[in-house]
Chain A
Amino acid sequence: MYFGFKDISINYGKREIIKDVTIEFPKGKTTTIIGPNGSGKTSLLKVISRAVTPVRGEVVFNGKPLKQYKLKELAKKIAYLPQVHNSPSDIDVRTLVSYGRYPYKQFGRGLTRYDNDIIDNTIEITGLKNLQNRLVETLSGGERQRAWIAMTICQQPEVLVLDEPITYLDIGFQLEVMELIKKLGEEMQLTIIMVLHDINFASRYSHYLLSIKDKGVYSYGDPRKIITSGKLEDIFGIQSQIFEDEKNNCPFIIPEKKRSKWLTLGN
């Protein structure tokens, strides 16, 4: 197994969130996890970042459980960007991006010329060149997200894990960030695992979708296989129309009606 979960179960206190999930993420591809609020998507990602310890099971990377890696070695392979991140108020973009080189830092030594080359390169490809001396807190949401993604890229990871990377952004920045993720994924052949709430973005920017329902994997595979009105009704309780986006070669949905005890939407 290259990278994936093996019989993972997660409890919060006594409440079971995820039960016996086994999944392998294909190398060099983008997999997006979808599912209702509270279904355990973020918890699954947090197992990767070790913020959540599973009650059973393990995350496997290159055939070995994550536990057997040194934290610093792992940081060179797997980069993780949580949904909310806070930075000190007065660091500039370049400094933030340079923190991505921390796992490579030798004790007592600053950034090497090689590190600086990588930082320059990352800033270039993420389009932050004109922003690199700006303070992070003065950036707009989309620019800030780009800066954080650049930091994770500076880790030169093989696997990039993103938790709702576009949640707080307007549609323009959403598109921009998704395009950036796609570009990075292709250029660096990253294995990307992310959580998205927007089904249409998920469909358009992922090779594979993974839907979570009732503590486990509901369906997994090509977006075309997952995004059907029957399956969406099962997962989210919505009725929807599915169309084909010919330009982007993927399905897209228009939600119509939510099955709900107290509210009926649509006609």
Chain B
Amino acid sequence: MQKNYVFRGLLYVNKNGMRCFNSSSTYKITLIIVLFILGFIAMIASVCLGTMSFSVKESLHGIFVNDDSAARLIIWNVRLPRTLSGGLVGICLALSGCILQGVMRNHLASPSTIGVTSGASFVGYLTLVAFPGYYHLLPIGSITGGFFTTLGIYLLAYNKGVSPVKIILSGMAVSTVFSAFNDMIRSFFPEKLANATGFLVGSLNGVAWKNLIMILPYALIGILLCLFVPSKMNILMLGDEMANSLGVRTESFRLFLILVSSLLAGAAISVAGLINFVGLIVPHIARLLVGSDYKYLLPASIALGYMLIIICDLIGRIVLPVGEISVSVVLSFVGAPFFLCLLRNKEAK
């Protein structure tokens, strides 16, 4: 029987194995609301702070009054779109990771660990090279790439149920191949990729309104589709046979989930490029906080994904006196140790 890693929520079970106060639904809902409020605060901080800091009042002025002030220029043209896109990217990656971990029945799955992001960026690159003038085709390319990569990995690892080890291994292999292709494309066609900087380096630097608008429809569709998921997902977690006999058509539902997660990951990648670890860490933190019921897990992931990217991007912007560290670098510094801790703490149950 396949073992999943056991993740016990913080203070989740008492000695007798009884549920504690913090597993009640009121607690979970409150916690999720708190997370959203914190996310909002992070957003305000991200808009106000930077190489040139503004007060909240100045920032609001910059957002709502169209004049020539420095606040308007910096906040409206740079920080607000950057913050909003960052948040959206975070949401997409977190949801995508959450869903993939369920589909693959593997807590180490995420868009980056199973190679979806590299597959998506490969097709993204191809799109940029083949249709240089059509920047708006990028998300479609990434989403298609993400979908076929996920599907491919799933089929490779599928043999009467999905083996967790096989998924990670085939994901790594696929990821390596696509990265190699990506490097090749990058060195052969540097001029054609010039205006897609964020896509290349995994950064939110230079993200503007047009980028946000470009991915908004895909991201929204993906997020809306997630509303259909939670209760069915909980049933799927009981195993295919059980889910089947409870009336879930597991194969088509899996395909649907893979589609949704590629939509989300593809949309995120086409703005922010290869951002690792969000899709992996966020579902785990969310699970620690609210447990593995998808009804709470998905909203908590939304709030956390949003917050994590905004905060990491903010740190990257303000930590150096001159210049900035890209969000993917900050995330790697935070994420890699976390990932190692996960591996270390996995409890063979």
Q: Which residue of A lies closest to B7 (CB)?
A: A89
A238 in the interface, Cβ–Cβ < 8 Å?
Answer: no
| B 1-42 binary contact with A (CB < 8 Å = 1; else 0) | 110101111001100111100010000000000000000000
Residues of B within 8 Å of A89, CB to CB, are 4, 6-8, 292, 349
A89-B6, A90-B8, A134-B18 known; A103-B238 Cβ under 8 A:
no
Partner-binding segment picked from B66-74, B239-247, B266-274: B239-247
Partner of B13, one of A74, A80, A105, A138: A138
- Indicate if the CB atoms of A92 and B246 lie closer than 8 Å: no
A51-B241, A90-B292, A91-B293 known; A102-B247 Cβ under 8 A:
yes
| A 71-115 binary contact with B (CB < 8 Å = 1; else 0) | 111111011111011111111100100011011010000000000
- Indicate if the CB atoms of B242 and A85 lie closer than 8 Å: yes
| B 155-172 binary contact with A (CB < 8 Å = 1; else 0) | 000000000000000000
Interface size on B, residues (CB 8 A): 33
- Indicate if the CB atoms of B292 and A91 lie closer than 8 Å: yes
Residues of B within 8 Å of A102, CB to CB, are 231, 235, 246-248
- Indicate if the CB atoms of B2 and A86 lie closer than 8 Å: yes
Q: Bound state CA distance, A102 and B268, in angstroms?
A: 33
- Indicate if the CB atoms of A49 and B239 lie closer than 8 Å: no
A155 in the interface, Cβ–Cβ < 8 Å?
Answer: yes
- Indicate if the CB atoms of B18 and A80 lie closer than 8 Å: no
Judged by DSSP, the binding face of B is loop
| B 66-95 binary contact with A (CB < 8 Å = 1; else 0) | 000000000000000000000000000000
B53 in the interface, Cβ–Cβ < 8 Å?
Answer: no
Shortest distance in angstroms between B257's beta carbon and chain A's nearest beta carbon? 16
Residues of B within 8 Å of A95, CB to CB, are 293
A99-B246, A102-B246 known; A86-B241 Cβ under 8 A:
no
- Indicate if the CB atoms of B17 and A85 lie closer than 8 Å: no
B291 in the interface, Cβ–Cβ < 8 Å?
Answer: yes
A253 in the interface, Cβ–Cβ < 8 Å?
Answer: no
- Indicate if the CB atoms of B12 and A90 lie closer than 8 Å: yes
Partner of A51, one of B4, B238, B244, B349: B244
Shortest distance in angstroms between A99's beta carbon and chain B's nearest beta carbon? 6
Q: Which residue of B lies closest to A73 (CB)?
A: B247
B237 in the interface, Cβ–Cβ < 8 Å?
Answer: yes
B234 in the interface, Cβ–Cβ < 8 Å?
Answer: yes
Within 8 A of A (CB), among B235-281: 235, 237-242, 244-249
- Indicate if the CB atoms of A71 and B249 lie closer than 8 Å: yes
A169 in the interface, Cβ–Cβ < 8 Å?
Answer: no
Residues of B within 8 Å of A116, CB to CB, are none
A86-B2, A86-B4, A91-B292 known; A133-B244 Cβ under 8 A:
no
Residues of B within 8 Å of A137, CB to CB, are 6, 17, 349
| A 118-145 binary contact with B (CB < 8 Å = 1; else 0) | 0000000000000001110111000000
Residues of A within 8 Å of B7, CB to CB, are 89-90
A50 in the interface, Cβ–Cβ < 8 Å?
Answer: yes
Shortest distance in angstroms between A151's beta carbon and chain B's nearest beta carbon? 9
Residues of A within 8 Å of B349, CB to CB, are 89, 137
- Indicate if the CB atoms of A71 and B244 lie closer than 8 Å: yes
Residues of B within 8 Å of A82, CB to CB, are 239, 241-242
Q: Bound state CA distance, A72 and B6, in angstroms?
A: 31
- Indicate if the CB atoms of B247 and A85 lie closer than 8 Å: no
Q: Bound state CA distance, A250 and B1, in angstroms?
A: 36
Q: Bound state CA distance, A134 and B244, in angstroms?
A: 26
- Indicate if the CB atoms of B239 and A155 lie closer than 8 Å: no
Q: Bound state CA distance, A133 and B349, in angstroms?
A: 21
- Indicate if the CB atoms of B19 and A92 lie closer than 8 Å: yes
Q: Bound state CA distance, A117 and B12, in angstroms?
A: 27
Q: Which residue of A lies closest to B161 (CB)?
A: A51
Q: Bound state CA distance, A50 and B244, in angstroms?
A: 8
A84-B1, A86-B238 known; A72-B18 Cβ under 8 A:
no
Within 8 A of A (CB), among B263-322: 291-293
Residues of A within 8 Å of B4, CB to CB, are 86, 88-89
Residues of B within 8 Å of A85, CB to CB, are 238-239, 242
Q: Bound state CA distance, A51 and B245, in angstroms?
A: 9
- Indicate if the CB atoms of B245 and A80 lie closer than 8 Å: yes
Q: Which 6 A-B pairs have the closest CB atoms?
A: A138-B17, A75-B247, A72-B247, A80-B245, A103-B247, A88-B292
Which residues on B are within 8 Å of A, measured CB to CB? 1-2, 4, 6-9, 12-13, 16-19, 23, 231, 234-235, 237-242, 244-249, 291-293, 349
Q: List 8 A-B contacts (CB under 8 A).
A: A50-B244, A82-B242, A88-B234, A90-B7, A90-B292, A91-B293, A99-B234, A103-B246
Other than the given A50-B244, A102-B247, A135-B18, 6 more pairs (CB < 8 A) read A49-B244, A74-B245, A88-B234, A89-B6, A91-B291, A135-B19
